[in-house]
Amino acid sequence: MTTLYTLDQVRRRIADEPDLPAGDIFEPGSFARELYDKASNAHLAPAARARVDREEASRWALSDEQWATQLEAVALAREHDAKLKMLKEGVGRV
């Protein structure tokens, strides 16, 4: 079974270590890590999360709720990491 992550875990990582990539929380081989590394932004968008990909959920032995939560956690981590990258590159600074 794959390791599952909650939104609270990702939020805590961001709060505790805001200068580190939130995506590092996801273990290699987990569904969340695969999503983080390979999923398109469209796949992680709220509209896409509303429609459970039953084939993907079945392949990873996830319930509908678990599947949706993993997508939401990965989307949050990716959003943070994109902002972090922009700040490190000097984009968006005032």
pLDDT in tens, the chain (94 residues): 799 999 999 999 999 999 999 999 999 999 999 999 999 888 888 878 788 999 999 999 999 999 999 999 999 999 999 999 888 887 655 4
Number of compact structural domains in the chain: 1
User: Is residue 1 one of the residues assigned to a domain?
Assistant: no
Q: What is the pLDDT of residue 49?
A: 79
User: Is residue 84 one of the residues assigned to a domain?
Assistant: yes
Backbone angles phi, psi at 39, to 5 degrees: -75, 145
User: Is residue 20 one of the residues assigned to a domain?
Assistant: yes
Q: What sign does the dihedral 46-36-59-3 (CA atoms) show?
A: negative
User: Is residue 19 one of the residues assigned to a domain?
Assistant: yes
Q: What is the pLDDT of residue 92?
A: 58
User: Is residue 93 one of the residues assigned to a domain?
Assistant: no
User: Is residue 2 one of the residues assigned to a domain?
Assistant: no
User: Is residue 29 one of the residues assigned to a domain?
Assistant: yes
**Domain limits at 42?**
7-88
